[in-house]
Amino acid sequence: MTTSIERTWTAVCPVEAVPEYAGVAALLDGVQVAIFHLPGDRWYALSNWDPCSGAAVLSRGIVGDAGGVPVVASPVYKERFALESGQCLDAEDVSVPVYEVRVREGVVEVESP
């Protein structure tokens, strides 16, 4: 038997609004999501909430890699979070939720939280 999970997608912004290596924040039904864009049309979405500082700011972090793993560094105290898994690289027991992102006809869509 297969279970299919019904996803609902919310259109957020045109792709041009997020240059490569930049991040933006989106408000989805009261939940803050940080969306990142990497070269090769790779898109990621994490919670915008930085659990290490308690501020909603991850979208304003610097995007890069740690040993090849794409990460964003929190702008407050610089902890790094893996874009794919939400795992914090600098604190084992810390992670943030991740969300699905896709691009449809030039529009960035995020899975509704």
Partner 1 sequence: MPTLVVAGHGMVAHRLVEAVRAEDPSGNWHIVVLSEEPRPAYDRVALTSYVDTWDPASLALPGSDYADDSFVDLRLGELAVSVDRAAKTVTTASGAVVAYDALVLATGSRPFVPPVPGHDLPGCFVYRTIEDLDAIRAAAVDKPGRGRRSAVVIGGGLLGLEAAKALRDMGLSPHVVEMAPRLMPLQVDEGGGSLLRRLITNLDVTVHTGTSTDAIEADGSRLLAKLGNGTELDVDLVVFSAGVRPRDDLARQSGLELGPRGGVLTDLSCRTSDPSIYAIGECAAVDGRVYGIVAPGYAMAEIVAAQLTGGAGEFPEPDTSTKLKLMGVDVASFGDAHATTEGALEVAVNDAVAGTYKKLVVTDDGKTLLGGVLVGDATEYNTLRALVGRPLPAEPGAILAPAGGGAAVGVDALPDAAQICSCNAVSKGAITRAIHEDGCDSVPKLKACTRAGTACGSCVPLLGKLLSAAGVEQSKAVCEHFPQSRAELFEIVQATRITTFSELIARYGTGSGCALCKPAVASILATLGNGHVLGGEQMTLQDTNDRYLANLQRNGTYSVVPRIPGGEITPDKLIVIGEVARDFGLYTKITGGQRIDLFGATVDQLPQIWRRLVDAGFESGHAYGKALRTVKSCVGSTWCRYGVQDSVGLAIELELRYRGLRSPHKLKSAVSGCARECAEARSKDFGIIATENGWNLYVGGNGGTTPRHADLLVSDVDTETLIRTIDRFLMFYVRTADRLQRTAPWIEEMEGGLDHLRAVIVDDSLGICEDLDAAMAKHVDNYADEWKGVLEDPEKLARFTSFVNAPGTPDPAISFRSEREQKVPVMLGVPEVRR
Question: Given the rule CB under 8 A, which residues bind partner 1?
Answer: 10-13, 17-22, 24-28, 30-32, 35, 38-39, 47, 49, 51, 53-57, 60-68, 70-71, 73, 75-76, 78, 80, 96-97, 113
Name which of 1 and 39 has its Cβ closer to partner 1: 39
User: Which of 5, 7, 37, 26 lies closest to 106, judged by CA?
Assistant: 37
Name which of 88 and 96 has its Cβ closer to partner 1: 96
